[in-house]
Structures are given as structure tokens and as C-alpha cells.
A and B are shown apart, each in its own frame.
Chain A
């Protein structure tokens, strides 16, 4: 299992904004008369910018807990956890299949609390794995493209656009390389499952000689610099922040279908500070933490008691039927199957180069 995980390292890099190890630390400030202080170690694949408001708010509520947060890429996070499963109290990752696999293999302990019991069924698994964000996968387009060809509102629009103006857009389109990015691979397998027309889209990307990159961050940089006019399958939570600051960019949530990915949190069975861990997870899926997510981050709150901008309910109200959250179930395990991955990547390369060959 370990060796295969190491093989995955070659192609996996699902944290869109790749970062070296970043660390946040909140020392404990015990209140007078309160002798005990707790410890809490969180490893997450979640940028400091997104997690900081959450941690700060939690720390205000529980100043007696010394809090350490390490931001890791999803695969190092997974690897490091397997190497030392008793080092971390809460594990947060956007790599849903890997998190699911940890829970499936019995590495997580259940959380029995009121908040956990009230958490919607579709966003949890066995009281062990909790999906606490709601992030659509989006397209980002530049104003130049909208002005020349109109704004693509759906995958069908995009396919038509690429097929009609493939030459004009040559080199101007960017998306994930599924063979190198775990997130890109996860989306690819999910989209191919949704519709066989996905392969036409891949062929069209090939025809448009699309650039294939590793992370959402790279795509956003290229788009902001004007190198690309259209980015496909960007993580909405990251894209939103950039698009809001850059008037040249527009974010499109496709109206035929839009994948939604969720960050999954779990408490390892061998967590060194399980009490603090339970308090943090309880906070994360409680009304307070979810309100911070809705109001101070672009991650999207899941809590059914919240509606308004920045929540899943709000996104559902505006995009309704189109949203396709990745099912939190054993189907995720199929995603991790070696042979399946090889088969899908082979097909992807074939379709991509077929389009490219046709275009040449």
C-alpha cells in the first residue's frame, strides 16, 4: 500500500495552490484560575488564508488550547499521516478519495456529539468523516474571450466554442493535467462517469492545444497575466478570491453541471489529544464555525441552519440542479484503483491527442 502511495506521489498534487510547509501557532492563554491547558495539532490541505479566520475564532472561544496548524499538500499529508498516525489530532484534506480511504481503513474515530448527529447525511460518513465545505468546480474566462465569442455558460457552450474556434483559441485554454494532478484526475473520472460527451470535450481541448498544469494557482496566475483566456475546472473557492479582485476575469459556474468538492475532516484513532480534537471538529461543523466559513472565507458553509451568501444552500438556490457534489461513498475508493487510473489516463491521453491530431 505504501509503495503504491509513493507511486501516486509522481502524479498527485491536488492542493491547488502548492505551498511549502506553512505553519500557524496559537499559544495557550489559560484564564486565571484555570490550570489545565490543552494541545491541538491540525494538519490540513487548506491555505492559511482560508483557515486563519477559523482558527482565530476557535482560539478566541478556547484560549486554553495551544493550537498548531500545518498546511501540507494533500499527498504529503496522507503519507505523513500513515507514517505517524499518532502525531495529529485533526486531519483536513480536499483529496476526498484519500480521506475516505483513511476512514474506510479504520484510521478515524467517531465523533458523538449533537452537532455530528445533526450534520446532513450526504456530508458525512459513519460519524467519522465530515464534509464541512462546499466548493464548486468552475470555469474562469477573460473579458477578451467574452467580447469575441460570448460567455460560455455550460459545458455544451464550451464544447461548441472549442469546436468552432479551436484554432483561434489555440494555446489560450488551460486545465488540469489529470496524470499529474490528483484533483484533475478526480474531476476527470467523475465527469467521464457523468457523460460520455466528456470525451468530446477532452478531444476539443486537444484540438485547442490546451495547456495542462498542476494547480488552480497556476491557472489563475496565467489567466491574470493574460496568457490564457479560459481556465477549465478551477477550484471555486480559490478562483472567487482572484476574480473578485481582477475585473478582467469572470467566474462561470456551468449551468448544465458543476462538480462540487468538499473538504473532509476526521479525527485519527490515535489522536494524541482527542478531547481537543473533538472540540475543534465540533466547532468546525457547529453553527459558529460554519458561520465563520460562510462570512469570512470562500469555502462555502454546509450547515443546514445557514442560508445567505457563502453557503451551500445559497449556491443551491442560485444553481440548483446543476450542482453535482462528489458522492461521499465507496465510489471514491474506485477512483483510487491503480488499473482504473491507468485505464482512464490512457483513454484521456488518447482522446486528447486524437483531438490534437485532428486539429493539426
Chain B
């Protein structure tokens, strides 16, 4: 059965089921009680009938003798027109007289004064209630024992029991109905704060991130606090985003303003050589700006928590060599020595080639830009590691973490966007890799290490 889970239904089920079971038990108990009461009432008739018969038992003509009183049988018949049976047996259990050879009762009469035994029997397909009285003659000389057995059908008893049960049942049903109503109201009342909370959340402006202020019972107050925590985190994230957007627009505005100023200046002059100079300058600025825009884009993409790229198997050695090939020309122009130290074994990881290429590109670019003379791209097999080391100025240890924030520049440098390391950090996170900023060999320069999870075989 597919059904939407509901607290209300769950509570109702777990409260109603035991209640119903309890009600069933009560009905069973009432039924047994009714039967017992009816039996007790009607057993009096068996008692009276056996007594009336026993009183008529005599010793006559050398044998037990009975002058059967018809009233004894009338008594047993009751107004329910029961079928009646009786029998007189002697001390040895031999049948003396009667209209049915009823079975004896194997039980012993205790020390009870009336000496009566009752039980339910099935005799020739009839459900009967039997009463057995053991008595003895109180004659001058005769002390003969005898047994009077009587039985009648159970219809009167069952009618009385049904009547009693009906009375009890009405009572039990009323109580059950009352209990169910109270239960429904109680559950509804208990779940009301939940509804209030739901309404409060639903009624909120989607842009509002202010904490919920709502008095709730303890269990729900915890939920409210958790929600408020989440809201606080979302507030922080949004503040970050707002700052990022502010920084980004600021970053873009500066080169754009420079471009337009440079163009204006060039237009005022007539010398084509000046124009060319201006155009070259503008070209450089626009290249930088477009690079900035690309970096901003990739950073936004990396920052998106919904972004889950599909990783593919790739070899870090190949990646490192490719990056060196790509950037060798630019470095060579600046007289920077770019080299690769690949691990002898292939280093295979799960990753996105274009992201890692970009990360390497950023790192190499950064190193070149900040005045390194030697840049080494290195890979290690175990654990899979990608390293870029330079001999540039490096970053003081206390500022390394700050460097990972977007738009934070190492120095008053106008060339970089301050996004490079932030992007590398984002890429590292996408790959589940650890980003470590350290000193280069000989306590100089900067070594950026990306340590990937897992082991290569």
C-alpha cells in the first residue's frame, strides 16, 4: 500500500490500534462475564431441580426408588422451553431411572456442603449444561449413596448472556467512541504547533532570511533553531555573493574605464602612430579584461554547489606535459624557465581535464606574473599529486589563506585579477583534492600542491 506518510496517521494508528485491541479484550471479558453470570443464575435451577429430585429418593423394595416430582423438570424447562434430561444413578454408577443415560462427572465433589458439580457437555449433538448432585439416603438403616444427574439445553442462558452482553456492549462502544473522539481532538491539538510552523514558513517572503520568531513546544523549538541556523548560513552565503558581485563589477569597471579613457585620448590626436600605440594598449587591456571575465565565469561555475561534473579517468603526467607545451612560448618570451618533472609511473586520477588545465594555467601564469624565473610542474604517484613550484617572491605564511579569497591580491599589482588562486581552490574542491600552499625548495618562492584522493596502483 503506497500512502503518503503522515504524522497524524502514524499517531492515530499507534494510538488507535492498542485502543481497539483493548476494546476487543473488554468485549471478550464482557462476553465471558455475561456467560458466567448467566450460568450462575441458571445453575440455581439445576441446584433446585436436583434437590427436589434428591428429596424424593427413597429405599423401597430393596432398591433405590424415586417418585419423580414433575415440578423439578418444569423448573429446568424454564420459559425458554429448554430440553430437559434427568437420571438417577446408584452408588456404583448404575442407571436406576431417568429419560436419558447422562454421562457422569469424573470430578470429585470437594468439601462443599451442597455437593454439586456443574459443567457444559455435548450429548448426542446437543450442547447441555449438566448438574450432578451426590447424596445419600438418610433412612433408619440405609445409608445408600446415589447420584442425581440433570441437564438442560443452554438457550435460556445464551439469551440471558446475550442480553447482558448487549448492555455491556452499548457501554463499551460508547466509551470507545468517546475515546476515539478525544484521541482525534488530542492529536489535532498536539500537532497544531506544527501547522503553525508550516504556515509561518509558507507565509514568509522568499527573499527574507531573517530568523523565525515563533513560540513553539520544545521538540519543535529545536527544529526552529535548526532552521534559523540554516537561514543564518544562507545569509552569510548571500553576503559573500553580494560582495563578490560588487568586487567583480568593480574589477570590470576599472579596465573598461581605462579602455574608454585611452580611446578618448587617442581620438584627440591625429598621428596614426599614436593611434597604433593606443590600440595596442587597448588590445592588452581588453585581453586582460576578457581573461578576467572568463575567470569570473569559471569561478561562479565552480562556486555553484549544484554543479556536479562527471569525472573521467585521466593521466596527470600527460596533463602536466601538455600544460608546459601550452605555456612554454609565453614563458620563453619572458625568459622564464618552465619545466616538468613527471613521475616515472603514470598517475591516473578521476578528474576533468579542462578544469585541471585551467588550474595549471592559472598557477603557471601567476608564477610568471609575480616574477618567477624557474617554474617546475611536478607530479607524484603516491598519493597522486600535482605541484607547481616557482622561485618568485612567495607568500608569507600568515597571508596564504587570504590568497584563496577572490579579488585578494598578493601585492599592489595591477596585472592580476586576484582570482587565480580562488579558481584553483574551487577546482581542487570539485576534485575532492587538498590545496596546500607552501614554500618552494630553499625556502624561496611558492609551491602549490594539489593532493588528490585515492592511490594509484
User: How far in angstroms is the closest Cβ of chain A from B379?
Assistant: 101
Which residues in window 45-89 of B have CB below 8 A to A?
65-71, 73-74, 76-77, 81, 83-86
B-side contacts of A335, CB under 8 Å: 70
Point out the residue from B74, B76, B83, B86 that lies within 8 Å of A106, measured CB to CB.
B83
Q: Is the CB of B100 within 8 A of A331?
A: no
B-side contacts of A147, CB under 8 Å: none
A7 at the interface (CB under 8 A from B): no
Q: Is the CB of A331 within 8 A of B70?
A: yes
Give the interface centre of B71, B74, B83, B98 by most chain A CB atoms within 10 Å.
B83
Per the bound structure, the CA–CA distance linking A329 and B78 in Å amounts to 10
B-side contacts of A126, CB under 8 Å: 81
Q: Is the CB of A331 within 8 A of B73?
A: yes
Which residues in window 110-138 of B have CB below 8 A to A?
124-126
A319 at the interface (CB under 8 A from B): no
Q: Is the CB of B99 within 8 A of A104?
A: yes
Residues 193-233 of A, flagged 1 when their CB comes within 8 A of B and 0 if not, give: 10000000000000000000000000000000000000000
B355 at the interface (CB under 8 A from A): no
B-side contacts of A104, CB under 8 Å: 83-85, 99
B16 at the interface (CB under 8 A from A): no
Point out the residue from B96, B99, B101 that lies within 8 Å of A333, measured CB to CB.
B99
Which residues in window 49-67 of A have CB below 8 A to B?
none
Q: Is the CB of A333 within 8 A of B81?
A: no
Which residues in window 222-281 of A have CB below 8 A to B?
none
B-side contacts of A28, CB under 8 Å: none
Q: Which of A17-25, A288-296, A336-344 contacts its partner?
A: A336-344
A105 at the interface (CB under 8 A from B): yes
Point out the residue from A193, A331, A337 that lies within 8 Å of B97, measured CB to CB.
A337
A27 at the interface (CB under 8 A from B): no
Q: Is the CB of B99 within 8 A of A101?
A: yes
What residue of chain B has the Cβ atom nearest to residue A331's Cβ? B70
For the residues of B in contact with A, the DSSP-based class is mixed
What residue of chain B has the Cβ atom nearest to residue A106's Cβ? B126
Per the bound structure, the CA–CA distance linking A338 and B84 in Å amounts to 17
Q: Is the CB of A105 within 8 A of B83?
A: yes
Q: Is the CB of B68 within 8 A of A330?
A: no
User: How far in angstroms is the closest Cβ of chain A from B95?
Assistant: 10
A-side contacts of B99, CB under 8 Å: 101, 104-105, 333, 336-337
**Contacts A330-B74, A333-B73, A333-B84 known; A340 to B125 CB distance under 8 Å?**
no
**Contacts A104-B84, A106-B83, A338-B97 known; A330 to B70 CB distance under 8 Å?**
yes
What residue of chain A has the Cβ atom nearest to residue B66's Cβ? A339
What residue of chain B has the Cβ atom nearest to residue A189's Cβ? B70
For the residues of A in contact with B, the DSSP-based class is helix
A-side contacts of B70, CB under 8 Å: 193, 330-331, 333-335
What residue of chain B has the Cβ atom nearest to residue A334's Cβ? B70
User: How far in angstroms is the closest Cβ of chain B from A332?
Assistant: 8
Give the interface centre of A330, A336, A343 by most chain B CB atoms within 10 Å.
A330
Point out the residue from B67, B74, B77 that lies within 8 Å of A339, measured CB to CB.
B67
Per the bound structure, the CA–CA distance linking A193 and B99 in Å amounts to 20
Per the bound structure, the CA–CA distance linking A1 and B65 in Å amounts to 19
A-side contacts of B81, CB under 8 Å: 125-126
**Contacts A330-B84, A333-B73 known; A105 to B100 CB distance under 8 Å?**
yes
Give the interface centre of B69, B86, B97 by most chain A CB atoms within 10 Å.
B97
Point out the residue from B67, B76, B83, B85 that lies within 8 Å of A340, measured CB to CB.
B67
Per the bound structure, the CA–CA distance linking A105 and B151 in Å amounts to 12
Give the interface centre of B76, B97, B99 by most chain A CB atoms within 10 Å.
B99
User: How far in angstroms is the closest Cβ of chain B from A8?
Assistant: 13
Per the bound structure, the CA–CA distance linking A1 and B85 in Å amounts to 13
Per the bound structure, the CA–CA distance linking A333 and B97 in Å amounts to 12
Point out the residue from A1, A101, A125, A337 that lies within 8 Å of B68, measured CB to CB.
A337
What residue of chain A has the Cβ atom nearest to residue B88's Cβ? A339
Q: Is the CB of B76 within 8 A of A330?
A: yes
Which residues in window 63-115 of A have CB below 8 A to B?
101, 104-106
Per the bound structure, the CA–CA distance linking A105 and B81 in Å amounts to 13
A-side contacts of B84, CB under 8 Å: 104, 330, 333
User: How far in angstroms is the closest Cβ of chain B from A324?
Assistant: 15
Q: Is the CB of A343 within 8 A of B67?
A: yes
Q: Is the CB of A329 within 8 A of B77?
A: yes
Per the bound structure, the CA–CA distance linking A126 and B156 in Å amounts to 12
B-side contacts of A106, CB under 8 Å: 83, 124-126
Q: Is the CB of A330 within 8 A of B67?
A: no
B-side contacts of A336, CB under 8 Å: 99
User: How far in angstroms is the closest Cβ of chain B from A195?
Assistant: 16
Per the bound structure, the CA–CA distance linking A1 and B97 in Å amounts to 10
Q: Is the CB of B68 within 8 A of A339?
A: yes
B-side contacts of A330, CB under 8 Å: 70, 73-74, 76-77, 84
What residue of chain A has the Cβ atom nearest to residue B73's Cβ? A330
Per the bound structure, the CA–CA distance linking A354 and B63 in Å amounts to 26
**Contacts A101-B99, A106-B83, A106-B126 known; A334 to B68 CB distance under 8 Å?**
yes
Point out the residue from A193, A334, A343 that lies within 8 Å of B73, measured CB to CB.
A334
A-side contacts of B125, CB under 8 Å: 106
**Contacts A101-B99, A106-B124, A106-B126 known; A331 to B65 CB distance under 8 Å?**
no
User: How far in angstroms is the closest Cβ of chain B from A162?
Assistant: 28
A-side contacts of B77, CB under 8 Å: 329-330
User: How far in angstroms is the closest Cβ of chain A from B80?
Assistant: 9
Residues 308-329 of A, flagged 1 when their CB comes within 8 A of B and 0 if not, give: 0000000000000000000001
B-side contacts of A338, CB under 8 Å: 97
Per the bound structure, the CA–CA distance linking A329 and B73 in Å amounts to 9
Which residues in window 229-270 of B have CB below 8 A to A?
none
User: How far in angstroms is the closest Cβ of chain A from B440?
Assistant: 111
B-side contacts of A337, CB under 8 Å: 66, 68, 97-99
What residue of chain A has the Cβ atom nearest to residue B67's Cβ? A343
Give the interface centre of A105, A333, A338 by most chain B CB atoms within 10 Å.
A333
What residue of chain A has the Cβ atom nearest to residue B85's Cβ? A104
A-side contacts of B124, CB under 8 Å: 105-106
User: How far in angstroms is the closest Cβ of chain B from A333?
Assistant: 5
Per the bound structure, the CA–CA distance linking A193 and B125 in Å amounts to 34
Per the bound structure, the CA–CA distance linking A85 and B149 in Å amounts to 27
Residues on A facing B (Cβ under 8 Å): 1, 101, 104-106, 125-126, 193, 329-331, 333-340, 343
Residues on B facing A (Cβ under 8 Å): 65-71, 73-74, 76-77, 81, 83-86, 96-101, 124-126
Report, nearest first, the 9 A-B pairs whose CB atoms are least far apart: A330-B73, A331-B70, A334-B70, A330-B77, A337-B68, A126-B81, A339-B97, A334-B68, A330-B84
Between-chain CB contacts (< 8 Å), 22 pairs: A1-B101, A104-B83, A105-B83, A105-B99, A105-B124, A106-B124, A106-B125, A329-B73, A329-B74, A330-B70, A330-B73, A330-B77, A331-B71, A331-B74, A333-B86, A335-B70, A337-B66, A339-B66, A339-B67, A339-B96, A339-B97, A340-B67
